[in-house]
Structure 1
Amino acid sequence: MDAYGGLRGDLFHDAFAYRPLRPLRPRDGSARRGAMREAVAWLPHAAICFLAFVTLLLGYSRSMDGFWGSRALLLAGLMVTVPVLMTLVRPIGAFWLSCVVIVITGMLGDHGSMSPWTPGTVFMHLSVLVVVALRTRPRVAGWMWVVTFAVSMVMSTLRGRSDPLGSVQMAIFYGTVLLVISVVHIRKDAERQVSAEKSVTAVERDRRTVLEERTNIARELHDVVAHHMSVVAIQAEAAPYRVDNPPPELAQAFATIRENAVAALTELRRVLGVVRAEDYEAPDAPQPTLADLDGLLANVREAGLPVEKVITGAVRELPQGVELSAYRIIQEALSNTLRHAPGSGARVEIGYVLGGLGLRILNGRATAEAGPSQGSGHGLTGMAERVSMLGGAMTAERTAEGGYEVTVFIPVAPTGPAERSERSGVSEASGVSGVSGAESTVDLAKGAGHGTAHGTGERA
């Protein structure tokens, strides 16, 4: 039943449906076509017309002269030519029409011949099988071979001369041709499927990489946010003790501020527990800033990479999130240089400009065996995510000398007096003797930062 269902679906269902052969599409996907490209697009149609012309020449069969006389050339030529041309618009219908032509020519041809096949019908059916097999799937080619073999055996029997050897020979000949076409079809389908799977896998890998990088960024920024929230809580705790006899309304307002800050720290600790991996180990030091860059460059030089640092503009303290991201970007760019351009030199430029921070990490051509010229792209993905989070811009491209250059600009709002007083207020608040909840606030900040806020607590 399954075999019958497959035969019916492939050769009987909508056998004469209109399926025109479409022109070839340009491989580059461009809509513009020149004269040569337009001619190549219609090459399959020209090839089929050439096969029809050859079939017309072979269609004249002297074995039909006794029946049709002088009309044999025109009639026999048209009969074997129509199925070939029909493959342009109705491929499955062309196959059935070819079988009908084989039956008609076999019944009306020379009965002294053992085989019902003539040169015209052999070439006609071969052309039809090739075109239909190329336009359909491999299973259709198998069904066409079965039907062709059955028609050949039936025609040999109806002609009154059994010809099993000739039918087997034709079956082997057509089967070999269809087998080659099917193998090519299956190979192309497999390559297309593998290409599609690779494309999907690459997309999924990039998406997973972005999520991993965002998770890492979230872990680090939790520490920065926890520090600022702990500062708010400590200042709110210490503010009433800075003045004599503060109004009850003022004391209550600062108490509310502290309660909200402590609640926010608690929620931060819960959220960090969600984004933290099972094998995540909390760092035991504060998150690095640009002030720690010299230590990073020293480690890179020990690894065999000469690094030069250039700073332009007036050095100033930037928000912790900006300094942390700048440090990580430089760290990842230098790591890429060590992996993919060993033996080259690197140059790190930091520009403190009005309205932001500029970074430029440049390395020369590799002088040692570098392996693949490009990595998985995870490092660039992480840098791009950090820059995008801060609303900046980033470019990464090869230089004319064969090296690689990463440029980043991170916008930074001007630092106001309120922001400076917030930083200085932490140390002042620590000297107030009556702050009963300061220690608990710092402990909570440590929990929210998972170790990185350890330095925050020390500064507080």
Structure 2
Amino acid sequence: MSWTALLPVREALRGLAHPSHAPTALLADSPKRWRRALPYVVVLALTASLLPSTIAVLTDVYGMNAGLAGAIATGSAAPLLLIAHRPLQAWWIVFPVDIVCALNLAGLDARDNTAWPWPPPIIVGYLFLMLALALREPRRTLVTVWLLTGGVGYVLGQLAPDRGNGTHVLLFVLSGVVLVIGGALRERGDVQRRLAEQETISEAERAQRTLLEERARIARELHDVVAHHMSVITVQADSAPYRISGLPEAAQEEFATIASSARESLAEMRRLLAVLRSDGSEGERAPQPGLGRVQHLVEATVRAGVPAELSLPAGLGDLPQAVDLSAYRIVQEALANVVRHAPGAATRVSVTADDGYLTVLVVNGPAAEPVPALETTGTGHGLVGMRERVRLTGGSLDTGPLPDGGFRVAARMPLTTVPDDVKDPR
């Protein structure tokens, strides 16, 4: 026989020598404490019941010496304390002890109706050990253990054919059934764990994709804001020599350079905008809205069945375009959320400007009636978009549920220049 033919046997024996799992207890990852403690409770109860019952059966039924019966019972029952986290190591102790027990019983006087080579307590403890192995070890190890169990049982049955009553066949069949059931349970748990991990990864990827999509949308909208100012700079720089008489030649060249740089920047922005708008969206080329159109939002919300009120002071003045656009989008998204998730809820929209900040507050109460919301699921784009818009203006956003069942959205954005460290959404 070649060494190549013996490779499967060698790999199987190596699997018996080295457990495939870390020495962690069954159900160690369970979030509930009672589930984590359940394996220890089971093995303690199993050992406490098998130890005295094995001694009693070996001494009373089989007539074994009490000292030897106690040693065999301890060797076959006490290692079961390990099956919660080291079942393979427990098998290396229990299986040889069970063989020693069978050999000793073969030399005793036979009695009627006595099971041999495996007494009933030995069979019960071994089946629990097989279940623990099936929940932890790979299929190759389980098959090896099962074949060794059947092979040793067959050999013992041939040593004393007149004593054998089929318990070696019974243990072989029952252990196979237990291994199949335990292996199926383990594989099912592995599949569920992988699915949970994949869902977690997918959720993180979905959140990241949502963030990137919202930032791209904001970048497309802010293009119009920045392009306006760059166009003004270009026009002013080009017309400065004609509007201001007596400019020295150096100043005229400087204005020409400024205009040229502004035109180059506009060209770069248009190329970037072509990439961002590669989805073919045409609606976003319209002029961007601002707080001047919030009244229309509130009126549309009222027509949708939501009693909404607006507090918008007159004379806000010229707001920075980024702040004006962000405020409008925040109110728009907040009101849309009320319509979707709290239909009929009383809503109040308030916009104030003081101490150099623009404050936007949208508060809604609970739904007017306990009716299903128009939408029960969402993509999470709304709050992500609000947060990104406020962050790009250098402001802060506070959102969350209210004690009465309503919801609150509060944004505070500065009316001055946005700091450099918050302009880049990265």
TM bucket by the smaller chain? Answer: 0.7 to 0.9
Q: Is the 8 A contact 2:334 2:362 kept in 1?
A: yes
Q: Is the 8 A contact 1:346 1:364 kept in 2?
A: yes
Mean Cα deviation higher: 381-390 or 121-130: 121-130
Q: Is the 8 A contact 1:138 1:182 kept in 2?
A: yes
Mapping of 1:172-211 within 5 angstroms?
A: 172-211=173-212
Question: Do structure 1's residue 13 and structure 2's residue 18 form an aligned pair?
Answer: yes
Mapping of 1:288-307 within 5 angstroms?
A: 288-307=289-308
Specify the alignment match of 1:429 in structure 2: none
Q: CA deviation at 1:59?
A: 2.5
For residue 311 of structure 2, give the secondary structure of its aligned residue in structure 1. Answer: strand
Specify the alignment match of 2:240 in structure 1: 239
For residue 408 of structure 1, give the secondary structure of its aligned residue in structure 2. Answer: strand
- Separation of aligned partners in 2, 1:326 and 1:288: 10
Question: Do structure 1's residue 54 and structure 2's residue 49 form an aligned pair?
Answer: yes
Amino acid at match of 2:70: L
Specify the alignment match of 1:350 in structure 2: 351
Q: CA 1:76–1:297 in structure 2 vs 1: closer, same or farther (change >3 Å)? A: closer
Question: Do structure 1's residue 27 and structure 2's residue 31 form an aligned pair?
Answer: yes
Q: CA 1:335–1:5 in structure 2 vs 1: closer, same or farther (change >3 Å)? A: farther
- Separation of aligned partners in 1, 2:166 and 2:118: 13
Q: CA 1:114–1:123 in structure 2 vs 1: closer, same or farther (change >3 Å)? A: closer
1:382 corresponds to which of 376, 382, 385: 385
Amino acid at match of 1:78: T
Q: Is the 8 A contact 2:83 2:129 kept in 1?
A: yes
Q: CA deviation at 1:48?
A: 2.3
Specify the alignment match of 1:411 in structure 2: 414
Query: TM-score, normalising length from structure 1?
Result: 0.78
Amino acid at match of 1:370: A
Amino acid at match of 2:265: A
Q: CA 1:52–1:369 in structure 2 vs 1: closer, same or farther (change >3 Å)? A: closer
For residue 312 of structure 2, give the secondary structure of its aligned residue in structure 1. Answer: strand
- Separation of aligned partners in 2, 1:210 and 1:18: 38
User: 1:94-129, CA deviations, whole angstroms, 9 ceiling, x for partnerless residues?
Assistant: 213222122222222146467301133223322322
For residue 59 of structure 1, give the secondary structure of its aligned residue in structure 2. Answer: helix
Specify the alignment match of 2:422 in structure 1: none
Q: CA 1:408–1:263 in structure 2 vs 1: closer, same or farther (change >3 Å)? A: same
Point out which structure has higher relative CO (alpha carbons under 8 A, 6+ apart): 1
- Separation of aligned partners in 1, 2:262 and 2:376: 49
Question: Do structure 1's residue 71 and structure 2's residue 67 form an aligned pair?
Answer: yes
- Separation of aligned partners in 2, 1:223 and 1:55: 80
**C-alpha RMSD of the superposition:** 3.2
Question: Do structure 1's residue 98 and structure 2's residue 99 form an aligned pair?
Answer: no
1:400 corresponds to which of 397, 400, 403: 403
Q: Is the 8 A contact 1:226 1:265 kept in 2?
A: yes
Amino acid at match of 2:53: L
Gap runs ≥5 in structure 1:
29-36, 416-460
- Separation of aligned partners in 2, 1:414 and 1:205: 33
Q: CA deviation at 1:9?
A: 4.6
Q: CA 1:95–1:375 in structure 2 vs 1: closer, same or farther (change >3 Å)? A: same
Q: CA deviation at 1:291?
A: 1.4
For residue 250 of structure 2, give the secondary structure of its aligned residue in structure 1. Answer: helix
Q: Is the 8 A contact 1:360 1:408 kept in 2?
A: yes
Q: CA deviation at 1:330?
A: 0.9
Mean Cα deviation higher: 315-324 or 48-57: 48-57
Q: CA 1:251–1:76 in structure 2 vs 1: closer, same or farther (change >3 Å)? A: closer
Mapping of 1:104-143 within 5 angstroms?
A: 104-110=100-106, 112=110, 115-136=116-137, 140-143=141-144
For residue 109 of structure 1, give the secondary structure of its aligned residue in structure 2. Answer: helix
Specify the alignment match of 2:263 in structure 1: 262
For residue 398 of structure 2, give the secondary structure of its aligned residue in structure 1. Answer: strand
- Separation of aligned partners in 2, 1:359 and 1:237: 39
Q: CA 1:363–1:4 in structure 2 vs 1: closer, same or farther (change >3 Å)? A: farther
Gap runs ≥5 in structure 2:
419-426
Q: CA deviation at 1:191?
A: 2.1
For residue 245 of structure 2, give the secondary structure of its aligned residue in structure 1. Answer: coil
Mean Cα deviation higher: 315-324 or 289-298: 289-298
Q: CA 1:390–1:262 in structure 2 vs 1: closer, same or farther (change >3 Å)? A: same
- Separation of aligned partners in 1, 2:8 and 2:281: 57
1:370 corresponds to which of 370, 373, 380: 373
- Separation of aligned partners in 2, 1:387 and 1:86: 57
Aligned pair count reads 404
Query: TM-score, normalising length from structure 2?
Result: 0.83
